[in-house]
Chain A
Amino acid sequence: NAGVTQTPKFRILKIGQSMTLQCTQDMNHNYMYWYRQDPGMGLKLIYYSVGAGITDKGEVPNGYNVSRSTTEDFPLRLELAAPSQTSVYFCASSYSSLVYGYTFGSGTRLTVV
């Protein structure tokens, strides 16, 4: 099993550009999440989804959009990139938040210049 796969691993964007961070999981997990991690800080939740067609905002959703059309995929869209969005982005999934541990992807390191 591949687990949670994130692409790309690295990306440099110019201010005002847009991009989509891809996240795919092959474990048939219902729950999926996007986190960002700034240098020296813990992870902050951007958006999450409890199933296909259902998404909800986390702690820091501004400047981002998500969609969940399938169980496997949970892309994160950045519109009008800003330097404040320079961060490492992690996608995660879980079957159940209560019983099973979360599985994280290896991250996407994004720099906005």
Chain B
Amino acid sequence: DAKTTQPPSMDCAEGRAANLPCNHSTISGNEYVYWYRQIHSQGPQYIIHGLKNNETNEMASLIITEDRKSSTLILPHATLRDTAVYYCIVLNSGYALNFGKGTSLLVTP
């Protein structure tokens, strides 16, 4: 699986959009980009995933660059409950998730 690089921490004001970047320059053509988050001491929670196209669901949007070497997770209106560690993972089928340290997002009032 391709390696990912994320900033260790970010801040965001409540109500504003949170944009979390992820670099995955060695991604191969059949590898998906997955995002998970872990709210303090809980099990990780699936957010969204994508291959090439931008994706949106009720939780977030995922923007993948045309060359697929980086992506951005967007939480359009961050709330205090979005404070968590966010993991960007690149995965092919048949393999388990490999979590790095992720980005610790702090949403402030």
Please list the residues of chain A having a beta carbon within 8 angstroms of any beta carbon in chain B.
Answer: 4, 31, 33, 35, 41-45, 48, 50, 58-59, 88, 90, 92, 96-98, 101-107
Contacts and interface: CB of A to CB of B under 8 A. Distances in A.
Interface of B is mostly: loop
B109 interface: no
11 contacts: A33-B97, A35-B99, A43-B99, A45-B96, A45-B98, A88-B41, A90-B44, A98-B91, A103-B46, A106-B43, A107-B43
Interface string B33-44: 010100001111
Interface residues of B, number: 23
Contacts of B93: 96-98
B43 A104 contact: yes
A97 B46 contact: no
A4 B45 CA distance: 12
Contact of B87 (A42, A58, A88, A103): A42
Given A50-B94, A96-B93, A104 B99 contact: no
